[in-house]
Amino acid sequence: MKSNRTSAFLAATAVAASGLLLSMPAWAQEEAGEETAKSGTSFLQVVFGGTAMDLIVWLMIFLTSLATLALIIDSCVCIRAVKIMPADLIETVKNSLAEGDLGAAMEACEATPGPLSNILMSGFNSITEGYDVVLDSVSSQASIETEKLMQRVNYLNLCGQLAPMFGLMGTVTGMVSAFGSLGTVKGAAQTAALAQSISSALYTTAVGLFIAVPAILGFTFIKNNASKIILMMEAMTYELINTLKNSEVKEQEP
| Continuous H helices in the chain | 8-22, 26-31, 33-39, 43-48, 52-78, 81-84, 87-98, 102-111, 115-125, 131-181, 187-242
Ordered by start, the domain boundaries in the chain are 42-242
Please enumerate in sequence order all residues whose Cβ is within 8 A of that of 37, keeping only pairs 6 or more positions apart, or say none: 188, 191, 192, 195
Local structure of residue 250 (DSSP, 8 states)? P
Max Cα distance, the chain (Å): 102
Does residue 156 contact residue 218 with C-beta atoms inside 8 Å?
yes
pLDDT at 68 over 90: yes
Tell me the C-alpha distance between 145 and 63, whole Å: 28
Q: How far apart are CA 238 and CA 171, in angstroms?
A: 53
**Higher pLDDT among residues 156 and 129, named by residue:** 156
Mean pLDDT (whole number) for 32-53: 57
pLDDT band at 47 (very low <50, low <70, confident <90, very high): low
Average pLDDT over residues 44-53: 69
Show the CA angle centred on residue 223, arms to residues 222 and 226, nearest 5°.
85
Specify whether the CB–CB gap between 250 and 97 falls below 8 A.
no
Instruction: Give pLDDT, residue 185.
Output: 61
pLDDT band at 133 (very low <50, low <70, confident <90, very high): confident
